[in-house]
Chains A and B, each alone.
Chain A
Amino acid sequence: MIALFWISFIVSLVGSALLITQKHAVYALLGLLIAFGASAGVFLSLDAPFIAVSQILIYAGALAVMFLFVLMFTDTRTEEDVGLPGAVGSRAVFDPATGRPSKKKKKKADEEEKKPALSGMVMPKPMAVAVSLALLVCFTATIVTLPSDYNRFGPLPSAYDGINFEGVERSADQIKTDPNLLPFGSTEAVSRTIFEGFPLAFEVVSLLIFAAVLGAVLLARRHLVGIPGTQDVAKESGHA
């Protein structure tokens, strides 16, 4: 467990460093994926296997694919590539006669090949570094001054401790047959926490996700004549 934790520790540091230094958005997404996978390892070493699996399923599975799809829809080049202001002019300039990117862009691509290996990284911004380092110092000071019972984790409540979900102590004979005694962090224990402890929050989250799905469909839809954000798109496709 301790080896798993330290490996995950180092790998998540590497992943987050990749995320904040890489210029190319797909490489940054790869760093985010590495950090998420390593976080699943941290959860596993903290006796939370169900959370670890749902971390991989939801974050590394669903969210990363969503990010990749939107990267496919949009321009992945960042402001460091095209210079500021990165508004309308930052698009690739296409030559209408040939239907290919114009020579100006090609020349830029040739220049990029000669750049050193560090050219894929973003130059650090001094103010952002100062603010995040100050925040890290504050957090570290808080963590160091935590009381001494945070120096180590206590022993887990095993299924044979004789305390179940209702907080009732059981005798050794009852323990072996009691279905309410569950190991810490198991799927059964987490699901009983959800449905016995916080059922209202569970239902409210389902409502939230429903609203989010509706909103995402409405926002990303095309051909909404009469709504300002989407009308120009309808016009464009009408001409083409």
Chain B
Amino acid sequence: MAVKKLGAQTVKFQNPPSIIATATVVGPVEGKGPLRNYFDLILGDFKFQEKSWEKAEKKMLKEAVEMAVKKSGVPSDKIEYFIAGDLLNQIISASFAARELGYPFLGIYGACSTVAEGLGIGAMLVDGGYADNIVVGTSSHFCSAERQYRFPLELGNQRPPTAQRTVTGAGAAVISTKNQNPRITYVTTGKVIDMGAVDPNDMGSAMAPAAVDTIVMHLEDSKRTPEDYDLIVTGDLASVGKDIAQKLMLQKGIDVSNKYTDCGLLIYSPEQDVHAGGSGCACAAVVTFGYIFNEMQKGRYNKILIVATGALMNSTIVQQGETIPCIAHAVALENL
């Protein structure tokens, strides 16, 4: 019998695994944003001494993982799994980083929700008794994402106000059985929700229903209310998606207005000309592992629900006229 399962989609950990260390690397634009003091390494340019943006992205992820492992104090040979994913075709940033890191590797894909998927799987492995130390990571890069999903960088086109900027960065965290705060207490795995969005320049409103569905399921399964959390943070809905998510939640009688924010809004300031806000795997990852992890360690926040969101599509299937399926996974982080 699944003793740790609650309701339809949620897991409650018996011995909540700890996040014992995190590390973040960000690009130059994020390094000028309001959270700049929370990041471990800020790059001066987009190439990170590499020949291509893809190689730079892989290097950022590798760097973040190495830093997190080093900070954790866990010897490298005691890392039992490396769980990672990214946006590039065949998750090459993750697997090429794994090639160099040499840890047993589980590649995952959840688009921009990857960080929550990784934390969820990692925590389940740790609380399940399958490992004592796991490292979870993800990355994205503005330039490599633009060329894969949209247009060449130097093309002189105009973007609509709903467009978002892919965060350049990588984040990694070490999950462990060690007795330390913050901990992962609950994980709610999301369903794929498709509300008929077709505009690849408006991911926020495409993903908002998935975020709302997962939040509603989490509260229902765990018998919690928004009052139980200091903060509910979605991944990368940005300004357009966040407003819609709030509206949808109000329709369901859930009022989160005073404690709800979004990583896509936190990472940039409005003057940074990023349209609706940030997106990409690194968006939720660097905000969670940089800002939120640090503030939880300081005790400013004690209970946070991270709801990372992802749009599960590529440009081929959108050109074939398909609507955009989306997903969101929720992870509850708590100081116990």
A in complex with B? no
Give the interface of A toward B (CB within 8 A).
none
